[in-house]
Amino acid sequence: MKGSDNMKNYHIDRSVVLFFVITLLISATVFGFRYANYTPCEIIEFDINARNYRVGEIIRFKDNTKGAITREWHFGDSSKADARVAPFHTYEKPGEYEVNLVINGKCNSTRIVTIKEKVFILDSTKLAKFDVPKSVKVGEVLKLKDKTLNARSWEWRFGETAEINSKKKNPVYIYNEPGLKTITLVVNGDVRYKTQKKITVLAKEKKKEKVVRPIIRPKESKSGLKLKPSIGVEENKPKEFKAPFISKKAFEAKLLEVYKKTATANDFSPYLCGNLDLSVLANKKRTTFLELCERIKRKGAKVKELEIVRAENNCIKNIVIRYSKLKL
């Protein structure tokens, strides 16, 4: 019995030893394979260089890792580059980007790069250019000329309202209130190149009032003898203002004189009671009387229909005109 027990124990011990030997061989094989293909990841190094870390600027990335066989660059903006030691990249938007470099398909290193807004460089050749006089009077016609190169559109503001007052290259304007005004011009819709200039608007000169002086009249008695003079005051009763009347035919003739440059818009001022900025419906389009005269001055006008609306004091308060280009 003792002999059979010893044989059993010996068989069990031999099986255990064999198991451990096999396990050891497998582990050694796996370890040897991993050791042969092992690449240290802690030595991955790469540089990020640029003159300016801004939108649109070229940034150079360079891998300095020793023993690198394959490389995969991830720039943090959904773009990547493969198998390049020193790729170049540009960013389209500002912000922080996580740059990741993968070496040999398994080792990686990450760095953060901060991209700032692109610096705007002003091109002086695109600045709006125009000249203004030092001063102008209320009610006086101000004429301006744009001198900007390659200008295709214009937005003029004359400082009395926040709205655009004219979209013409060479506008005309009449100020209604005195004071220091700012004239602003934006060309081609780019407010970065706007130009602002100051102009002083002077008040109208006030008409001198007539001084009423006492009139001394000598009195005569019934006998014809002159008595002591009595002092009386001559009363100047204010007359109701009325603008001069102009007929349609005379109005048309004067418009023709504007084209011939023998008359100007100011010659109509008495009939418009000084309102040269009067709203006019010309060929079914709203404009001002001043701009209408400027248009006629350049192209002429053959009047086909004219309607003049007057106030009780004869001041013209509305004009409807239909005309064609004049051919002389």
Among 144-148, 195-199, 228-232, 318-322, the minimum mean pLDDT is found in 228-232
Res 236 pLDDT > 80: no
DSSP character at residue 15:
H
Q: CB neighbours of 301 closer than 8 A, spacing ≥ 6? A: 255, 256, 259, 295, 321, 323, 324, 325, 326
Q: What is the pLDDT of residue 228?
A: 54
- In this prediction the pTM is 0.38
Q: What is the three-class DSSP state of 4?
A: helix
- Domain 46-115, what fold? Immunoglobulin-like (2.60.40)
pLDDT average, residue stretch 248-264: 88
DSSP element (H, E) containing 206: none
- Residue 162 or 179, more confident: 179
Could you tell me the residue ranges of all domains in the chain? 46-115, 124-202, 248-324
User: For tokens 């005379």, what's the residue?
Assistant: 250
Q: What is the pLDDT of residue 42?
A: 61
Res 204 pLDDT > 70: yes
Res 222 pLDDT > 80: no
DSSP element (H, E) containing 201: strand 195-202
In which order are the strands placed within the sheet that holds 95-103? Answer: 80-82, 71-74, 95-103, 107-115
DSSP letter string over 238-254?
A: PPPP-PPP--HHHHHHH
DSSP element (H, E) containing 110: strand 107-115
% the chain with pLDDT above 90: 32
Q: What is the pLDDT of residue 128?
A: 92
Task: Centre a 10 Å sphere on the Cβ of residue 66 and count the other Cβ atoms it contains.
Answer: 9
Closest C-alpha among 119, 102, 100, 118 to residue 110: 100
Task: Centre a 10 Å sphere on the Cβ of residue 17 and count the other Cβ atoms it contains.
Answer: 10
Which pLDDT band holds residue 19 (cuts at 50, 70, 90)?
confident
Mean pLDDT of the chain: 82
3-state DSSP of 118-146: CCCCCCHHHCCCECCCCEEECCCEEECCE
pLDDT average, residue stretch 31-39: 58
Does 124-202 match 46-115 at the fold level? yes
Q: How far apart are CA 275 and CA 70, in angstroms?
A: 82
Q: How far apart are CA 183 and CA 160, in angstroms?
A: 9
- Architecture of the domain made up of 124-202: Sandwich (2.60)
Res 230 pLDDT > 60: no
User: CA-CA distances (angstroms) from residue 302 to 160, 265, 278, 311, 324?
Assistant: 35, 17, 21, 26, 5
Q: What is the three-class DSSP state of 191?
A: helix
Could you report the per-residue pLDDT of 292-303, keeping only the tens digit for each? 898 888 888 888
Q: What is the pLDDT of residue 216?
A: 56
Q: What is the pLDDT of residue 210?
A: 60
Could you report the per-residue pLDDT of 98-152, keeping only the tens digit for each? 999 998 888 888 999 999 998 877 788 889 999 999 999 998 999 999 999 999 9
